[in-house]
Amino acid sequence: MYETIQVLHSYWAYVVLLILIIATVNAIAKTVGGKEYSAKDFRISLFTLIVSHIQLLIGLILYVVSPRLALFSELGMGDVMKDAVNRLYLVEHPLINIIAVALITIGYSKHKKKLTSGPKLKTIAIFYTIALVLFLSRIPWSAWLN
């Protein structure tokens, strides 16, 4: 079961990154270009919200069924934090990505309350860009690229 969820989590991450990049570039381009917010922009930002939340749920399930989780009781928090790989998988990756999904959620919620195109697109651009940077910073690249 763990391997299946891990593969799903890894492949769904490609979808999340692709959609998040599209949403971010779209919002930045339209903000800089002074273009109007449209129904397409709403759908892109909503789809980004949905796929990122699905990834979060898959990730939380993966975290709970992960054999690595036992390292907390076996090694203790101090030894987990001393090992860069264990720290990445057990602390940094989950925490930073939860924050990134929270930023996507906040950005989406805040943009809906704006009344004009400029502030709507700017809000999406800011929050989604920060989330994208956070996601990219905590991807376990060594495992992902192999």
Band (146; pLDDT cuts 50, 70, 90): low
pLDDT for 97-132, tens place per residue? Answer: 999 999 999 999 999 898 888 889 999 999 999 999
Across 70-86, average pLDDT: 84
Tell me what the mean pLDDT of segment 41-45 comes to. 94
List the chain domain ranges.
Answer: 1-143
Residues 6+ apart with CB under 8 A from 10: 144
Q: What is the pTM of this model?
A: 0.90
Residue type, 102: A
For residues 119 and 142, give the distance between their C-alpha atoms in angstroms, rounded to a whole number: 38
Amino acid identity of residue 34, one-letter, is: G
Average pLDDT of the residues in 16-22: 96
